[in-house]
Structure 1
Amino acid sequence: MGAPWKRTLASVGLVGVLLGSAACGGGGDEESAGPAQEGTVDDVSEQGDPVTGGTIDVGLEAETNSWLPGEGSFGNPGLAVAYSIYDPLMKRTEEGDVKPYLAESMEPNEDLTRWTLKLRPDIQFHDGTPLNAQALKSNFDDYLTTATSNVGATLKGVSMEVVDDLTVEYVLEEPNAAFPDVLTLAPGWPFSPTAAAEFGPDAGSNPVGTGPFQFVSWQRDNALEVERNENYWRDGLPYLDGITFRPIPDEDTRLASLESGDIQAMQSLRQSTIARARDLEGVDNYEYLGNNSGGSLLNTSRPPFDDVRVRQALAYAIDQEELIEVLGGTGMVPPASQYFSPDSPFYSEEADEAFPGFDPERAQELYDEYINDPERSDGKPVGTPISFTYNCPPDPSLNELSQLYQAFWSALGIEVELNAVEQAAHIQNAIARDYDAACFRFSSERDPYYIFDDAFTEGPLNFTDYTDPVIDEQLEVLRSTTDLEERQAAVEEISLHLSENVPNLFTGYTLTDIAVQEELKNVDGWEFPDGTAGDGVPGATAMWGEVWLAE
């Protein structure tokens, strides 16, 4: 069983990076979400003792393009698969600390510019080749930091030196207190360089890691199959014989597949689906409320969103509670106002109070001030209504959400055209900044330095194209100190700035769920090798090596 705080949806610890997966959701804290948990989260079935054997099918919300770190786009569905094949060098504890997992230790020098990582001995990749310092070096040089790597920006200014057979040093051009967080995700998933070289361009379709399960086959958009790693370095694990991961993008179909028994587990980040999953007989729900939230991107590189008055007007015009109701999150989640949930040590009450609340009169004042300004940024004649296109994937609940946004903004006199865009194209449009406004998700459980560095400095994940010296200055603080109070103060300064300048809008925090048939046990109860409790199921992702099927 997982720790009690997971049952009540509390999420603590360092938090982080902007996620490029399109959708909108809601979330909530322990106090406000508590009543909604009754009869659901606290009633997970009796777990019993571990059992070895059996196979399961897991329904995912989407397919992933590649399984090779540095090439794959590992959103929530990809992460759900990745931790079965790969072991992360570092992982997060239930207290939110980043701690060695596959690594044995990781220590910085005094000025935080060199991080020495030591591997555990006698660990092999699935192909029988050794996990050693040279393997990490090959991963780093030949794949993770190449011109085509999608994690290259994260590793910019970082090099690696081999110290001995099991030890490497990450050498940073500048101090970075948050660097260990990088190794919880794809840059910290060792893979066999021998296999990657052998498969060449097809390496992303033939992943070889050190994880509890090894790759068997992949039929794109249909099924990825893994089987037990008989030589796994953690004695007694995994419990299952195998897993088949199935992308089932339609929420209704995925839920029906769980209810019928076609799959034994499913992930969801949609509040309406989670509400229905709670009502299913014989189903356990492993829910998690972290920092991920739904909302809207505003492209500040284009008029009229280059003017703060317009961005503020859009924020004041929306009733977040109505948006959350459309998404099925009423009673489950509160409105969001920043990149951190009320459970996070980086949540700011001041930023929450500063974020524009529902105030149609103030929204109208700001809108009228802009359209009647002879120097308005879009160059249109005084009094001409603003017009723009709002993009969102063609999901029924998101269609309804988009229509509600349209109604709020049309009430001001804005002409809003709705545009349904398939999710893959939606993400690419955000990266290319080829949109006016768009629904999206923000934040995760990573360190705040990486959340804000990705989202608000030059780079591919700055989807709003918003930057500011205030953010840059506070990022320097986050990068250069491990002192929690100093880091909290820096985060608050950034959050207050964003509340005033609103480069993006929020609906609510996103409650996530892994819903399982009740014979599937220990979904959120994973532990580190030394017995330290892990962080459960953030973002509807699990450590499948410690899950078992009851007899």
Structure 2
Amino acid sequence: MRYRTTRLRRTRAATRVGAVLAALVLTTSACGGGSDDGGGAADVEVGQNPEPQGSPQEGGSITVALEGETNGWLPGVSRAASAGFNVLYALYDPLVMQTGEGNYEPYLAESVEPNEDFTAWTVTLRDGVTFHDGSDLTADVIARNVALLKQPTSTLTGTLAELSGVDVIDPLTVRYNLTRPNAAFPAILSSTPGMPFSMQNVDELGQDGANANPVGTGPFVFDSWSRDDRLTVVANESYWGSDLDLGPYLDEIVFRPIPDEDTRLLTMQAGDIDAFQTLRGSTVGRAQDIAEDGELAMHTFVGNNAGTSILNVLVPPLDDVRVRQALAHAANQEQLIEVLGGTGLTPRQTQFFSEDSPFYSDNVAEAYPTYDPDRATELLQDYIDDPQRSDGKPVGSPVSLTYACQPDPSLSELAQAYQAFWNTVGFEVELEAVEQAAHISNAIGTPASVPPFAGDYVANCWRSSGGGDPYNVLKTEFGPVEQQPQNFTNYTSDVITEQLRVLATTTDLEARQEAVEKIGLDLAENVPILWTASTVSLFGVDPAVQNVSTWQLPGGSQGVGLGLNQGGVTMWGQVWLAE
């Protein structure tokens, strides 16, 4: 056991649409977001993050404000978004992690090897790793983990649909057997499906109890959780990664969910927290003003994570492609970006992969519906006049829908902007505010849904990510509804099924790019997802907080930084406080 010093946390003292949007943009701009005229978000150099100063120091406590609460912390039960993954990566170690170059390398695993046709992957575990409760990490534990993760009620059922089972080869070796080839299977093991958890803890507390009292192998040990207030973790003094310079360096981290953007930033300015997370362009712009005074260090990332709206294609009237296309043509993306304070900071998004990704397609960008209110009105009227319209209403009846979003001021402004655009072309749109945990649960649905997990929503503001390998991303997003609870839109097609087969069976880059493009063109035509813009992930921290975006893997490779998982997530075990 290492000797640790104790140090207290540091503190520091024209049309109806046009009229609505003008008011919304004025409100956002007044808060310091998104203008191009000297200051604000447009001046942020995304990715130009502070290098750590000095060598790692042990000791101290920090408080981190996250954008929302999570329903719990056990893989397969937890429905975490980016906020929750900050906690999960502190408590658990994934078997595999992504490098800054986009490759996947062993982390908690010693090695990961495929067979010739990618239908089986053999994972060798590190020897001597223990869970926080003292129980050993073994191949048997992995096999029992997988059995729970594949239960029908698991949030990971879809992700692991092609996994037929796990064979225990010896005490430290398991073989994952797949029903079909998956050349990108290691990427799955970099998130919750690859985060081993203590079966001793599950046996004692049950899954619900373990969800509230998690036990992993990670750099921090769960201490306490007061839901919607704070979760505290303390250093794992017996951490296997300490000798590999993987931390932990801090004594304690307190994670606080603060959903309101203004409150989160003001709490940081008041010195009550040491770091805060945001994925809102307007808040990034305001944080830049503070950073210019030297009171804040900014760690930013823009990647394949983007703001979207998901449409439930199993629910009338969104089961009709004319209605979805009308919604897409009615929305002016550039003005929506302006409402969010992202002008000059984030580009318009049209697909799962950003322009710097090898899987970005100019053809998909050109095919995605452009702002055309006349075309939107025409498509909507065609549906309204159809005697076979799917909502069962009489010909000529208006089309109504509910658009749900979290009760964050910037998202409320976004929802109002969408409502204004859609109402103008003839929709009747009702807005609904839903807290983040319920928002995610509603999108996933319940086993009682018909079909199961069809989602309890019509249209949701959302965040979609192309992070990771495109096969795993697109399979999860658009695989068979009955197998993929995270196919939130419930959309799939023959084109997608065929191109997913290509992605699963080859590592040839050109063939995979062509497959991704075909899927993107299908989505651009059928629009189960409406795109807004790339999401800027920011951690604003006290300048004393070091190494937020430069963590490493056991073999010495640089990690993917704040691009971890969906973006806006870091490895807090490798963060320290400067002297």
TM (norm. structure 2) is: 0.85
Change (3 A) 1:377 1:337: same
Change (3 A) 1:215 1:381: closer
Matched, 1:239 2:249: yes
User: Which residue pairs with 1:469 in the alignment?
Assistant: 494
User: Which residue pairs with 1:526 in the alignment?
Assistant: 551
d(CA) in 2 for partners of 1:425 and 1:67? Answer: 15
d(CA) in 1 for partners of 2:95 and 2:45? Answer: 37
Q: Select 2:532's aligned residue among 507, 529, 536.
A: 507
User: Which residue pairs with 1:9 in the alignment?
Assistant: none
Q: Select 1:262's aligned residue among 264, 272, 279.
A: 272
- Partners of 2:503 and 2:515 within 8 A in 1: yes
User: Which residue pairs with 1:83 in the alignment?
Assistant: 89
- Residue 254 of structure 1 aligns to which amino acid in structure 2? R
User: Which residue pairs with 1:153 in the alignment?
Assistant: 158
Change (3 A) 1:426 1:63: closer
Q: Select 1:414's aligned residue among 400, 421, 427.
A: 427
User: Which residue pairs with 1:23 in the alignment?
Assistant: none
- For structure 1, the residue ranges without an aligned partner over 5 or more in a row are 1-27, 29-33
User: Which residue pairs with 2:517 in the alignment?
Assistant: 492
Instruction: Return the offset for 1:210.
Output: 1.5
- Residue 250 of structure 1 aligns to which amino acid in structure 2? D
Change (3 A) 1:476 1:550: same
Instruction: Return the offset for 1:109.
Output: 0.3
Q: Select 1:437's aligned residue among 459, 480, 500.
A: 459
Moved more, 364-373 or 270-279: 364-373
- How do 1:58-457 residues align onto structure 2 when only pairs under 5 Å count? 58-141=64-147, 143-156=148-161, 157-200=163-206, 201-234=208-241, 235=243, 236=245, 237-280=247-290, 281=293, 282-432=295-445, 433-456=455-478, 457=480
Post-superposition Cα deviations, 1:197-237, rounded to whole Å, max 9, x if no partner, equal 22334222222221111122222222221222122122152
User: Which residue pairs with 2:22 in the alignment?
Assistant: none
- Partners of 1:45 and 1:284 within 8 A in 2: no
- Partners of 1:295 and 1:439 within 8 A in 2: yes
User: Which residue pairs with 1:5 in the alignment?
Assistant: none
d(CA) in 2 for partners of 1:211 and 1:251? Answer: 29
Post-superposition Cα deviations, 1:269-321, rounded to whole Å, max 9, x if no partner, equal 12211211122132111111121211222222233322222221221111101
Change (3 A) 1:109 1:374: same
Post-superposition Cα deviations, 1:170-220, rounded to whole Å, max 9, x if no partner, equal 111211112111111111111222233223342222222211111222222
Change (3 A) 1:256 1:239: same
Instruction: Return the offset for 1:512.
Output: 0.9
d(CA) in 2 for partners of 1:386 and 1:267? Answer: 38
d(CA) in 2 for partners of 1:335 and 1:170? Answer: 39
- Partners of 1:40 and 1:285 within 8 A in 2: no
d(CA) in 1 for partners of 2:438 and 2:201? Answer: 31
Change (3 A) 1:217 1:383: closer
- Residue 541 of structure 1 aligns to which amino acid in structure 2? V
Moved more, 63-72 or 431-440: 431-440
Instruction: Return the offset for 1:495.
Output: 0.1
- Residue 435 of structure 1 aligns to which amino acid in structure 2? Y
d(CA) in 2 for partners of 1:229 and 1:411? Answer: 56
Cα-Cα RMSD? 2.1
Change (3 A) 1:47 1:409: same
Post-superposition Cα deviations, 1:438-470, rounded to whole Å, max 9, x if no partner, equal 222212412222222222231322222222111
User: Which residue pairs with 1:11 in the alignment?
Assistant: none
- For structure 2, the residue ranges without an aligned partner over 5 or more in a row are 1-33, 35-39, 446-454
2:48 counterpart SS class: helix
Post-superposition Cα deviations, 1:95-146, rounded to whole Å, max 9, x if no partner, equal 11111111111010001111011112222222222222222223223x3223
Post-superposition Cα deviations, 1:357-415, rounded to whole Å, max 9, x if no partner, equal 11222223323333334444444444443222222222222222222112212222222
Q: Give the fraction of aligned pairs with identical amino acids, expressed as a percent.
A: 55
1:527 counterpart SS class: coil
Change (3 A) 1:168 1:45: closer
Moved more, 200-209 or 504-513: 200-209
Moved more, 100-109 or 249-258: 249-258
d(CA) in 1 for partners of 2:406 and 2:331? Answer: 20
Change (3 A) 1:418 1:518: same
Moved more, 519-528 or 202-211: 202-211
TM (norm. structure 1) is: 0.89
- Residue 371 of structure 1 aligns to which amino acid in structure 2? I
- Partners of 1:304 and 1:377 within 8 A in 2: yes
- Residue 477 of structure 2 aligns to which amino acid in structure 1? A
2:166 counterpart SS class: strand
d(CA) in 1 for partners of 2:569 and 2:378? Answer: 44
Post-superposition Cα deviations, 1:528-547, rounded to whole Å, max 9, x if no partner, equal 11210000012211111111
Instruction: Return the offset for 1:494.
Output: 0.3
- Partners of 1:257 and 1:263 within 8 A in 2: yes
- Residue 413 of structure 2 aligns to which amino acid in structure 1? E
- Partners of 1:161 and 1:171 within 8 A in 2: yes
Instruction: Return the offset for 1:37.
Output: 4.5
Moved more, 112-121 or 403-412: 403-412
User: Which residue pairs with 1:57 in the alignment?
Assistant: 63
Change (3 A) 1:523 1:338: same
Change (3 A) 1:301 1:521: same
Change (3 A) 1:471 1:59: same
User: Which residue pairs with 1:18 in the alignment?
Assistant: none
Specify which structure has the bigger relative contact order, considering alpha-carbon pairs within 8 angstroms and separated by 6 or more residues: 1
d(CA) in 2 for partners of 1:37 and 1:533? Answer: 27
User: Which residue pairs with 1:8 in the alignment?
Assistant: none
Length, aligned pairs only: 518
